[in-house]
Amino acid sequence: MTGEDFKSGQIILIDKPLTWTSFQAVNKLRWEIRQAFNIKKIKVGHAGTLDPLATGLLIICTGKMTKQINTFQGQDKTYTGTFVLGSTTPSYDLESEIDQTYPTNHISETLIHETAKKFLGTLSQLPPVFSALKKDGKRLYEYARAGEDVEVKPRMVEISEFKITKIDGHQLDFKVVCSKGTYIRSLAHDFGKALQSGAHLSVLRRTKIGDYDVKDAVSPIEFIASLSRQN
């Protein structure tokens, strides 16, 4: 593949590592492509943010393919991961410390599976305050980390599949297929409340965006290595 190929437009499937931001992944690939082919300027963008504590499929587009980003963002996404019952965090995941604990003795496996069914279909969901959504030009997480209160408006999302795939004490493994704009952290939080308890997200992996599968993705390091082999 040549520099002209990247400028004319490529789709790169990246398996985003833990702790990387989606922005870091885009910046790293842009820099490496520019260095490998001595390109002064090239458009590179991603089709759907993954939180730093999530791993999995990131669709990265280069050149003219960046015009397709909105199309990819609108496709259904599939996630797997783990909820932890009995406690909540302000960020709804492990970015922040546990702030409250709740009883779990009343929760049976039957109740867990029956409650999961209630989250299928069109739902009103409140995004986490610790999110990259913007309000008045600032990211919501900037307000949250500064300890400022901010009003977050609910949004309608569609969940076409939600299964609890394994129950191990307080840890619930799950699979979710959902629409654009769904926050799995919010789903964890709402699921805990629906169980008359609390819950937070401890593991998240995006496995599919539309027909694109993480099984076909490479790590950033593997992608960079492929560039050096071409030169």
**Distance of alpha carbon 41 from the chain centroid:** 28
HSE (CB half, 13 Å, CA atoms) of 101?
4
Among residues 5, 15, 51, 216, the one annotated as catalytic is 51
Enter the DSSP assignment of 162.
E
Closest Cα partner for 85 from 112, 51, 48, 46?
Answer: 112
Phi-psi region of 206 (alpha: psi -120 to 50; beta: other; left: phi over 0): beta
Amino acid at 111: L
Q: Are 204 and 51 in contact (CB under 8 A)?
A: yes
Dihedral sign computed on CA atoms, order 107, 108, 111, 117: positive
Is 51 catalytic? The answer is yes
**Catalytic machinery residues:** 51
